[in-house]
């Protein structure tokens, strides 16, 4: 098929989403096997939940919360992805998301490496990715200019980019993380990866 017949997949995620982390570790390779690329869109689940009237899956010490925490670890084992439950969860992620959008306008490959590094910092190394200094450290470890990024995190332009990304996600019908849109078809959750791969292989079903 021509490039015009194979549009990119749209991957919406929050950096505090364990299932988002699991899908982030796999989705590029799955897409590439079928000649596709992925557009990554970090969003803020707090904004999404407020707009949609939804609640986070982990809320207090309910039976559902206990199940979900266990499922995070079980799903990571099933998918072969390293996972260490963070000591603080969830965390605000606006600084990481702003950094992503600033980098995105400069170097796509670096932006992807940074996103994966943030996820691994939180869900493997238990680093506090809500803290601006930690986000700056992670970025610097990927070769990003720390001082330039520090200034960018506070810029109205970058804040507006993240706000616009959340609004665009809501307009597209996104209600959680991870949320993938493939050829207009919506898939929610890392456990939908086999369906996503079958969809890409068959052209839909």
pLDDT at 6: 84
* Residues 73 and 89 sit within 8 Å (Cβ to Cβ): no
Dist CA 14 CA 96 (whole Å) = 10
Task: Kindly state the helix (H) or strand (E) to which residue 180 belongs, with its residue range.
Answer: strand 179-182
Q: Residue 125 has which token pair?
A: 């190394």
CATH code for the domain in which residue 185 is found? 3.40.30.10
Exposure class string for 13-27: b at 16+ Cβ within 10 A, else e: bbbbbbbbbbbbbbb
pLDDT at 20: 98
The total number of structural domains that make up the chain: 1
pLDDT at 76: 98
| Domain interval for residue 165 | 3-202
pLDDT in tens, 137-184: 999 999 999 999 999 999 999 999 999 999 999 999 999 999 999 999
Dist CA 139 CA 110 (whole Å) = 9
- Name the stretches of the chain with pLDDT < 70: 1-5, 59-60
pLDDT at 60: 67
pLDDT at 1: 40
């Amino acid at each position: 098929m021509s490039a015009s017949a194979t549009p990119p997949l749209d991957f919406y995620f929050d950096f505090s989403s364990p299932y988002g982390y699991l899908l982030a570790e796999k989705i590029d390779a799955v897409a590439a096997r079928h000649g596709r690329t992925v557009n990554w869109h970090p969003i803020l689940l707090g904004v999404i939940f407020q707009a949609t009237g939804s609640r986070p899956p982990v809320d207090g010490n309910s039976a559902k919360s206990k199940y979900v925490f266990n499922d995070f670890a079980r799903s990571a084992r099933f998918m072969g992805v390293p996972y260490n439950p963070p000591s603080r969860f969830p965390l605000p992620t606006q600084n990481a998301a702003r950094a992503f959008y600033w980098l995105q306008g400069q170097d796509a490959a670096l932006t992807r490496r940074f996103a994966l590094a943030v996820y691994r910092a939180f869900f493997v190394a238990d680093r506090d990715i809500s803290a601006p200094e930690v986000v700056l450290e992670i970025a610097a470890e990927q070769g990003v200019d720390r001082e330039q990024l520090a200034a960018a995190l506070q810029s109205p332009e970058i804040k507006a980019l993240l706000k616009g990304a959340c609004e665009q996600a809501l307009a597209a019908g996104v209600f959680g993380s991870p949320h993938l849109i493939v050829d207009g078809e919506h898939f929610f959750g890392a456990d939908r990866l086999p369906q996503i791969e079958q969809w890409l292989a068959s052209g839909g079903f």
